[in-house]
Amino acid sequence: MAETNGGSNTNTKNGNFICGVVEGFYGRPWTTEQRKDLFQKMKKWGMDSYLYAPKDDYKHRAYWRDLYTVEEAEHLTGLITAARESGITFYYALSPGLDITYSSVKEVTALKRKLEQVSQFGCAAFALLFDDIESEMSEADKEIFQSFAHAQVSVTNDIFQHLGQPKFLLCPTQYCATRAVPNVATSEYLNTLGSKLAQEIDIMWTGPKVISRLLTVESIEEITEVLRRRPVIWDNLHANDYDQKRVFLGPYSGRSPDLIPKLRGVLTNPNCEYGANFIAIHTLAQWSRCNVDGKRDLTLNDSVSADIKLETETEDGVVGEDVPSTISPNMYHPRHALKNAINDWLPEFNKKRAAWGVIAKPQPCVAPTVPIPIIPSVNTCMSLTTTTTSSVTTVAPVSVVNSNHLQALAEVCSNVTGNESFIQPPPGPIMNSLVSDTKVVSEPLLSVVNASSSNNSIMLNPGTEPMDCNTTPNNSPAHIAKVNATDDDVMVENTSTCSGTSASMQVEIDGTSPTINGSQMIVENDNDNHEVTQNTENDLPEVKDEDKQLTHEDLSLLCDLFYLPFEHGGQGIQVLQEFNWLKSNAHVAIKKNKTDDGSGTADFDEWQARATKMDDMCKAVNRLFQRLTYCDNRELLYDLYSYIWDMRGVIALLNSYVKWLGFSNGWKETFMSGDQEPWVFRGGLTADLQRLIPVDSGNDLFVYKAPEVPTSKIYTIRPYLPSDEDAVYAVCNRINGVSGTSAVADRLVGGYLTLSPEFCMVVEDEDGIVGYAVVALNATTFNQKMAVSWIPELQAKYPLDDAINDLPSSVQESIRYFHSFTPEISEQLCRQHPSQMMCSILSSVVDQSISKRLITCVLAALRANGKIFYNILGLFSENDYLFCNVSYFFFKVHLEYIQ
């Protein structure tokens, strides 16, 4: 398995098995440069096919009738040529199903015309994709075709013959078992495809579900019998366009190599972020070269496993599944494949690459004035079923396309705007990946449509499964409704929606940044991290400090934290298990803190040891995060940064809470009830970790925005210590613009630090404390103690005399407050909202999530002390003070910023 060169891949060499990549997701397409890089990697790894099907590349789907311009033709021709030079079959796909009328001669002619143009670019393999569309035919089609399947078969066979029977793929509307009506075996649609579609055309299939955890031999045999041909698997295992907070870096898994002889091929539809797909594609390539299932045969086949040594513990001491340390070249084991892939991935981080833009994933479409909700299931269907590749020997030889060839195409390309007979989609932002090598251009398309309205508007089915909310993608601009027309003239009303995609990380671009075709390159000004340079393939990587160099162990941790849709990696599971154990056994630490009688020492030692282990894991994540920000490959950094930033913040929050548990003596067992309300969490391990935080509700606390430019800055939230008093006072004075006196700090924070220190938290970076949260568990009791123990001292410290008239107004106000002390909160409000908190953070803390994480940690501490009934309805404000509407709690959130 250590062999990564594709020369030994006999499965793809003999032409019987297609293996490659389908760019079929929703969101920003890959760039021309990234696709060419992909072709080179696929050649190296022995893969043979690439399917061009980016859902939001506008001339692929929404504007499928439009011909390519000369500029677009040059880029597409360059891609096709680059693929051929790397030995990769380039499949060009169109998705006309949103609004095509199958019985219209003009529609079919437009489809032929578009594919003919692409064939002149040198393309010799094609695909038609009918996924994620309504299965109801138009009235015109019902008069001609017996069924929806007959309509698709008719058009597909016609196109196939018209193009000279090239390699051809079809993605059906029923592309997985859960979509088959009523089931796979008796589906009239699938059986019609199997019996009527030309045998040379290969059919795509995603497996039992849109995202299939397992593909079994039995399920493949069933669909093979129905389709009368081996399927090409469109594999969504690593697709992440349905969840804003998930990226998948685990190995190809859940598919035994036993499947290979029973399949026509496998194309992986991976993460939206190109740089995040190294593991997914590399491990698929390894899988395609094997014929022995390592996970099964290591336990069932003694003759295979006799000489194989097993590792049941990773380098980090994580106990997990048996992983072979040595393995035969024809045996596939996911963890072993992952190890090989990481070895080859590590050098990619040292290649100099500039970042050219943020990654845009699909997002629910809303009016600009309406806050975008965190609803991972809306508009999240990855290109769930698009086609791949298949070999057909009847394809005519394709001549190499050169610049003269392109000139000869100028005439046909110049007619791109001459489709007057078709209603064009309305104005709306579009994405075009074929006008620049390094950039995907997104700009409004200026076309005006005056089409009559229709009552046949397509609505999202509220019952769709979470992984596929775009069954009838009404967020694409050209598929909302159909109206009756003549056979040769189909009028289509198109409604533009979802034009504004939400980036996984927003980057504010300076107006002076260099541009390509009107699009700006991201220029980072964080000199502490990295200085962006242009791509120079031959440049040697800069020598970095050892502490700034990513290691194999770092990437192994990264992959474990973002593993697979149905499975966390070993180190991710360990974080979950350790924190859950520490939280469940916190009474051991609290009891030890309350008593010094020596009882329970062994249990306390175990708790402390595991708390130290939790702290070590947090430090490992911090180390990974910082080293990633120093890497030369800024494009790869921007692909991954928002994910690891979010994960690091959550793990740091858990670690802060563990430190508070070990420090505090106010814990109560009531917080272990586990009666948690269902939150709207982000997906993956991040969500599972958040669920462990003992805060019952408050969705806003988990809505973060990553820094606009990657930074290696680490902020730590920890319990307040007596030695922190001077630093907290300094922060308070700085925020309030006071110097030379501590009167203001004595008023705002002194009482909390003196009378309620066990609930106070601080935020620090490498230079010291930059923020704090001070809390009183019971405001009424706290105010009583203030009146008896704290205010008299301050009255003596700050006499009320004429001398104060020369002091700043805030100092005067504080001194007068001491001498006329009255609780700021009424008794009635204290009864309804017994706890009181003040949070202050310096403006130098640009990470907007820190204040929310700080408050979350405080809320967890409060809940651990019996305050289990509350409902946070609102948090945070740009105002100096914000009184939050909190049931059973009162918070005085003082978000102060120096100017």
Gap between the Cα atoms of 194 and 91, Å rounded: 22
Q: Give the pLDDT confidence score for residue 669 in this predicted structure.
A: 34
Q: What are 501's strand-pairing partners?
A: none
Task: Specify the pairing of strand 761-765 against strand 768-776.
Answer: antiparallel
> Which has the closest alpha carbon to 362: 344, 384, 378, 342?
378
- Helix (H) or strand (E) run with residue 625 in it: helix 601-629
Indicate the pLDDT class of residue 743, thresholds 50, 70 and 90. Answer: very high
- Compute the 3-state secondary structure of the chain and give helix, strand, coil in percent, each to the nearest 5: 40, 15, 45
Q: What is the pLDDT of residues 341-357, one digit of tens each?
A: 999 999 999 999 887 65
Is the model more confident about 871 or about 732?
732
**Highest-confidence segment of 57-61, 466-470, 597-601:** 57-61
Q: Give the pLDDT confidence score for residue 225 in this predicted structure.
A: 98
Gap between the Cα atoms of 110 and 408, Å rounded: 20
Gap between the Cα atoms of 296 and 293, Å rounded: 6
Say which residues have a Cβ less than 8 Å from residue 423's Cβ, sequence separation at least 6. 449, 451, 491, 492, 493, 494
Q: Give the pLDDT confidence score for residue 189 in this predicted structure.
A: 97
- The token pair that represents 294 in the structure block: 């390592």
Cα Rg for the chain, rounded, in angstroms?
A: 31
Gap between the Cα atoms of 42 and 34, Å rounded: 12
* Other Cβ atoms within 10 Å of 899 Cβ, number: 4
For the cut 50, the answer to whether the pLDDT of residue 480 exceeds it is no
Task: Specify the pairing of strand 232-235 against strand 441-445.
Answer: unpaired
565 burial (CB, 10 Å; 0-12 / 13-18 / 19+) is: buried
- What is the amino acid identity at position 349? F
Q: Give the pLDDT confidence score for residue 869 in this predicted structure.
A: 34
Indicate the pLDDT class of residue 700, thresholds 50, 70 and 90. Answer: low
Cβ proximity of 169 and 232 under 8 Å: yes
For the cut 70, the answer to whether the pLDDT of residue 301 exceeds it is no
Catalytic one of 56, 66, 131, 132: 132
Indicate the pLDDT class of residue 333, thresholds 50, 70 and 90. Answer: very high
Is the model more confident about 488 or about 244?
244
Q: Where are the beta strands (DSSP E) in 5-115?
A: 18-23, 49-52, 89-94
pTM of the complete model:
0.76
For the cut 70, the answer to whether the pLDDT of residue 731 exceeds it is yes
Gap between the Cα atoms of 46 and 288, Å rounded: 9
For the cut 60, the answer to whether the pLDDT of residue 899 exceeds it is no
**Average pLDDT score over residue span 266-280:** 96
Task: Specify the pairing of strand 202-205 against strand 232-235.
Answer: parallel
- Helix (H) or strand (E) run with residue 287 in it: helix 278-288
- The token pair that represents 753 in the structure block: 């630090």
The secondary structure of residue 444, as a DSSP letter, is E
> Which has the closest alpha carbon to 556: 511, 621, 491, 612?
621
Cβ proximity of 661 and 590 under 8 Å: yes
484 Cα distance to chain centroid: 41
> Which has the closest alpha carbon to 258: 330, 339, 177, 202?
330
**Average pLDDT score over residue span 668-675:** 32
Q: Give the pLDDT confidence score for residue 798 in this predicted structure.
A: 92
As a whole-number percent, the residues of the chain with pLDDT over 90 amount to 45
Indicate the pLDDT class of residue 7, thresholds 50, 70 and 90. Answer: low
- What is the amino acid identity at position 670? T
Gap between the Cα atoms of 68 and 74, Å rounded: 9
The secondary structure of residue 295, as a DSSP letter, is H
For the cut 60, the answer to whether the pLDDT of residue 439 exceeds it is yes
Gap between the Cα atoms of 718 and 786, Å rounded: 25
- Helix (H) or strand (E) run with residue 658 in it: helix 634-663
**Average pLDDT score over residue span 597-614:** 82
**Highest-confidence segment of 70-74, 525-529, 546-550:** 70-74
- What is the amino acid identity at position 658? V
Q: What is the pLDDT of residues 212-241, one digit of tens each?
A: 999 999 999 999 999 999 999 999 999 998
Helical spans, DSSP H, in 562-600: 570-584, 586-594
Half-sphere exposure of 315 (CA within 13 A, CB side): 11
For the cut 80, the answer to whether the pLDDT of residue 570 exceeds it is yes
At residue 825, φ and ψ (nearest 5 deg) are -115, 130
Gap between the Cα atoms of 485 and 493, Å rounded: 12
765 burial (CB, 10 Å; 0-12 / 13-18 / 19+) is: middle
- The token pair that represents 95 in the structure block: 């998705």
235 is catalytic: no
Q: What are 232's strand-pairing partners?
A: 204, 265
Domains and CATH numbers, the chain: 6-301+341-493 (3.20.20.80), 547-710 (1.20.58.240), 716-844+869-899 (3.40.630.30)
Query: Where do we find the tokens 């930074």?
Result: 711
For the cut 50, the answer to whether the pLDDT of residue 3 exceeds it is no
**Average pLDDT score over residue span 297-306:** 42
Is the peptide bond prior to 757 cis by the omega test (within 30 degrees of 0)? no
- What is the amino acid identity at position 350? N
Q: What is the pLDDT of residues 165-174, one digit of tens each?
A: 999 999 999 9
pLDDT, averaged across the chain? 75
Q: What are 364's strand-pairing partners?
A: none
Distances (CA, A) of 613 to 77, 280, 442, 619, 687: 55, 30, 47, 10, 21
Cβ proximity of 237 and 253 under 8 Å: yes
For the cut 60, the answer to whether the pLDDT of residue 571 exceeds it is yes
> Which has the closest alpha carbon to 618: 575, 582, 674, 562?
575
At residue 347, φ and ψ (nearest 5 deg) are -65, -25
Q: What is the pLDDT of residues 386-429, one digit of tens each?
A: 333 333 333 333 334 444 443 443 343 444 333 334 434 444 45
- The token pair that represents 547 in the structure block: 């502490």
For the cut 60, the answer to whether the pLDDT of residue 46 exceeds it is yes
Buried b (16+ CB within 10 A) or exposed e, 386-420: bbbbbbbeebeebeebeeeebeebeebbeebeebe
Q: What is the dihedral of CA 570, 574, 580, 582, to 10 degrees?
A: 170
For the cut 50, the answer to whether the pLDDT of residue 453 exceeds it is no
Q: Give the pLDDT confidence score for residue 528 in this predicted structure.
A: 47
Distances (CA, A) of 16 to 157, 284, 335: 22, 17, 27
Indicate the pLDDT class of residue 891, thresholds 50, 70 and 90. Answer: very low
Q: What is the pLDDT of residues 552-568, one digit of tens each?
A: 999 999 999 999 998 89
- The token pair that represents 620 in the structure block: 């490992």
Indicate the pLDDT class of residue 775, thresholds 50, 70 and 90. Answer: confident
**Average pLDDT score over residue span 476-500:** 37
> Which has the closest alpha carbon to 65: 490, 388, 431, 459?
490
Task: Specify the pairing of strand 49-52 against strand 89-94.
Answer: parallel
**Average pLDDT score over residue span 324-347:** 90
Residues counted in the chain? 899
Q: What are 23's strand-pairing partners?
A: 52
Say which residues have a Cβ less than 8 Å from residue 564's Cβ, sequence separation at least 6. 237, 238, 248, 250, 253
For the cut 90, the answer to whether the pLDDT of residue 519 exceeds it is no
The secondary structure of residue 482, as a DSSP letter, is E
Cβ proximity of 447 and 426 under 8 Å: yes
Cβ proximity of 873 and 891 under 8 Å: no
